[in-house]
Structure 1
C-alpha cells in the first residue's frame, strides 16, 4: 500500500534516490547560530542589550524577547527538506514553501493563500522570518507553538489536505527519508524496525523555521552604532515612526517590530469579502471582534500585499490607512473596539513617504536558506511562481 501511495505522488519519470545519491544532512549550524554541545545556539548583538521590560518601548539597543534554539544541525537541515517537499501535501501539488516562499519574504505575494485543488483560503500567509521569537501564531493567535501551528496547514482539507496517518505512511514509505530521520534522530533509530514519528516531523520543521533569523538589516547596523547605515530621509522616517504623533513603535516595537499582541485596527476587507471577525471566536471575547496579531515589519517590503486579507497593495497604501482617522473604515453595522493607539496623526504626504523609506531599511535576507536542488522524495521543489502582478488580484487592488 505504501508503494501505491508513492506511485500516485511521484511525477512520471521522476527518479527515486538510490544509495549512490544518498543525501547527507548538514553537520554545520545555519548562519547566525553556533554549535554548542551538539546543538545550535543563536548568536546576535541584540543579546548584549537589556530586555524590553528593562528598556522601555523598544529603544535602538533593546534586547530580544525569549526565543527558541537548541536544535541539532541535522534536525534543522531535515526540516529544510521537508519544508520544500510537495510530498507533504495530499496530492503532491504544494509544499510549505508554496505559501512561505523564500523569495517573497517567506510569504506568498497573495492577498489570500491558495491550497490544494486551487482552494482560496480566508487569509494571507504571514512571514516566517523571526518566528523563533514569537509566542503565538496565525493571524488570530490561536496556536502557542510552532508545532501546534504547523498541524493546521498540514491537515487542513483546503490547505495541504493530509492527516497524521497518511503523513506517517507516506514518509515511512520513502527509504531516503527514513535514512535522513535516522541521521537527525539517531537515538530513535537503533534498529531497522524504527519508524518515523509525528513528533520527529514536527521537531524538524520547527528546527528549520527557527533558523530563519533576520536581524542584520541596515536599520540594525544603525541601531548598533553605525550612523551612516541610514540616509537622512530614512532617519527622518525612523523619527516619525518612533514619535508620539505617529505612534508606530508602540505596536511595532523594536527589535522585532511587533509587540506580539492582538489589536483591533478596523482594516477594511477587499471588495466582496465578508467581514473577518478575527480573534473573537478564538478568545470568545466580543471586544476582540476584528482583532488580529500585530505583524512584524521585518522584511515588510517583500511581503506585499498587506493586512490579513491583502487589502493594501503597497506599503504606501498601508501607511496611509493609519492616518485616515480612527475607525474610518469600519463597515456599517459593526461596533468595533478600536485599539487605543489608533487615532488621527494627520501625517503629511511627505511624512508618509519618509515612513515608507524607513520601513524599507528593515529588509535583511542575509541568512536566507538555500532551496534544495533535489528532494528525498524524488519530487521537484514546488514554489508558487505566479507573477506578483497577477497575485495581488486576489483582493489587494480591489480598493473602493
Structure 2
C-alpha cells in the first residue's frame, strides 16, 4: 500500500489521530466554494439548486408499464445550495475521510469510469478486496434504495457504510470528525455551506456528500434526444436494439424501466459468482427474508458502457456477456443444492447473437457524460486528490 506524499508541514498519525494541517491551509490560497448551481440545475430565490429536465414536462407515471419514450422520471433529490454541492465535491475526492489517508470516495467511484472503478471488486483500506462491485453513481439522486442489497434508504445513510466499514475506508465517526476539525479550511467552508450555527458536523458531512452525488445527472444521451422527438439521434441498429429491449420477448424494460432504466426493485436473477467465491445471499441479509436470497437492486443502465465489469460481483466482462446470461435459460447458473425464488421475468427468451448485439448497441446509446464534474486539483485538507483505486494520484495546480 502506498501513501500520499504529504507536504512538509503535515504530520500524519495513524490510528485515528489528527492530521496537522492548519499551517498548510494558511500558507496556500483559500478555496472558494462555487456560488453557481451545476449544469442541469437552476437556482431559486432561496439559494437552492433545482433540477430542470425535459422529462419534467411529461405527466405519464414513471412506475406504470415499461416506460414509454415520454415517461416522467421519479422524484429527484434536489434543493441543496451550490455551496453544499461544491463542498461535497471536495469531500468526495479527499482521502482525509479514510483512516490512513489512502482512499477517497472517488477511489471506488472514478468520474472517468462512470463513477464506478473498472474492477470486479474494489480495493479497500490496507489492500483488502471488497465483496461486491462498486456501482456507478450517475442519477443516484433518483434512487430510493442504495447499495446492491438495497439496505440504505437515503444518500446520507449510504455514505456511512463505506466511511465506517473496516474493509473500505476504515474510519470511525470520532476519527473522521477530528480530522475535519483539524482543518481551518474545512471549518471555514462548512460554515460557508451550512451557516455558522450548522457548521462542521457529521450530519453536514453526510449532507454535503449527498448534495454532490445528487448533482450527478445524466439525461442528455442520444437515447434522450430520440425520446424527446429527434428520430435521427439513434441509428437503425440502435432502434432495433430499443425494440428488442422493450419487447415482450426480451422484457428488459420491465425491470430496467426508462427513462431511469431501473424500477428500483430487488430482483433474484440467479447470476453466478466468480470462480472460488461463495454464494452471496444479497438482500436476504438486511431484510431478513429468505425469499430474497441472491436478490439485488436493479441497477440503472445509464452510462452502463463505462462501468464494466457487470453484476454485483463483476462476473461478466462485457455487455454482450451480461445480456447473454438472460437468454441461457431460467436458473441455469443457480448453485447446485440451492433453491432460489427467481424473478418471474427470468425465463428463456432465446435471443440470437444478432439480437444481443443490437441490445448492446442500444445500451451504448445511453452514454452521456456532458455534466461530469471537475476533479479538484487541490483540497481543503492539503492532501492530494485520490481518484484511482489503490493508486494515489498526485496533482498540483489551481482548484
TM-score, normalization by structure 2 = 0.91
Q: What residue in structure 1 maps to residue 98 of structure 2?
A: 89
**1:328 partnered with 2:332:** yes
**Structure 2, unpaired ranges of 5+:** 1-9, 392-399
Shift of 1:188: 1.7
Name the structure 1 match of 2:345. Answer: 341
Q: Find the counterpart in structure 2 of residue 119 from structure 1.
A: 128
Structure 1 residues 182 and 53: alpha-carbon distance in aligned structure 2, compared to 1, 3 A threshold: closer
CA distance in 2, matches of 1:386, 1:157: 16
Distance in structure 2 (CA, Å) of the matches to 1:323 and 1:25: 50
CA–CA distance in structure 1, aligned partners of residues 263 and 103 of structure 2: 32
What is the Cα deviation at residue 126 of structure 1? 0.7
Query: What is the distance in 2 between the residues matched to 1:10 and 1:380?
Result: 17
Q: Return closer, same or farther for 1:126/1:353 CA change in 2, 3 Å cut-off.
A: same
Report the equivalent of 1:203: 207
Displacement of 1:113:
1.3
Match of 1:66 in 2: 75
3-state SS of paired residue (2:365)? helix
**Matched residue SS, 1:345:** coil
- 228 and 117 in structure 1: CA distance in 2 versus 1, 3 angstrom threshold: same
Q: Please say if 1:137 is aligned against 2:141.
A: no
- Determine the C-alpha separation between the residues in 1 that align with 2:74 and 2:53: 12
- Equivalent of 1:245, from 245, 249, 271? 249
Question: Counterparts of 1:386 and 1:317 in 2: how far apart (Å)?
Answer: 27
Secondary structure of the residue aligned to 1:21 is coil
CA distance, structure 1, for counterparts of residue 212 and residue 117 of structure 2:
18
Aligned to 2:396: none
How far, CA to CA, are the matches of 2:52 and 2:149 in structure 1?
30
* 1:182 shift after superposition: 1.2
Q: Distance in 2 between matches of 1:10 and 1:150?
A: 21
In the alignment, is the contact (CA less than 8 A) between 1:51 and 1:65 conserved in 2?
Answer: no
Question: Could you say what the CA RMSD is over the residues aligned between the two structures, in angstroms?
Answer: 2.2
The 1-side partners of 2:211 and 2:13 are apart by 27
| Number of the residue aligned with 2:111 | 102
- Cα displacement (A) at 1:285: 1.1
Given that 1:3 and 1:173 are in contact with CA atoms closer than 8 Å, whether structure 2 keeps it comes out as no
Q: State which of 19, 29, 35 in structure 1 corresponds to 2:43.
A: 35
- 8 Å contact from structure 1 (residues 113, 125) kept in 2: yes
Report matched runs for 1:207-222 at 5 Å: 207-222=211-226
**Secondary structure of the corresponding residue to residue 16 of structure 1:** helix
Q: Does the 8 Å CA contact 1:81/1:375 hold for their aligned counterparts? A: yes
Change (3 A) 1:70 1:158: same
**Alignment-derived partner of residue 24 in structure 2:** 16
Which residue of structure 2 lines up, in the alignment, with residue 299 of structure 1? 303
User: How far apart, CA to CA, are the structure 1 residues paired with 2:57 and 2:67?
Assistant: 15
Aligned: 1:310 with 2:314: yes
Aligned to 1:34, what secondary structure does the other structure show? strand
Aligned residue for 1:235?
239
Cα separation, partners in 2 of 1:289 and 1:264, compared to 1, 3 Å: same
Could you tell me how far apart the structure 1 residues matched to 2:367 and 2:63 are? 27
Structure number having the greater helix percentage:
1
**Contact 2:22–2:182 (Cα < 8 Å) also in 1:** no
Q: CA deviation at 1:17?
A: 2.8
Q: Partner residue of 2:160? A: 151
Give the aligned partner of residue 352 of structure 1. 356
Q: Does the CA-based 8 Å contact 1:10-1:379 persist in structure 2?
A: no
SS in 1 for 2:34: coil
Tell me how far apart the structure 1 counterparts of residues 128 and 152 of structure 2 sit (CA, whole Å).
22
* Distance change >3 Å, CA 15–CA 314, structure 1 → 2: farther
Cα offsets for 1:213-247 (capped at 9, x unmatched): 10100000000000000000000000000000000
> How many residues matched?
381
Question: Given the superposition, is the C-alpha separation of residues 367 and 210 from structure 1 closer, same or farther in structure 2, using an over 3 Å criterion?
Answer: same
Cα distance in 2 for residues equivalent to 1:96 and 1:121: 14
Q: TM-score if structure 1 supplies the norm length?
A: 0.91
Aligned to 2:182: 173
Q: Residues 123 and 208 from structure 1, CA distance in 2 versus in 1: closer, same or farther, beyond 3 angstroms?
A: same
Which 5+ residue runs of structure 1 have no aligned equivalent?
Answer: 190-194, 388-400
Determine the C-alpha separation between the residues in 2 that align with 1:96 and 1:154.
8
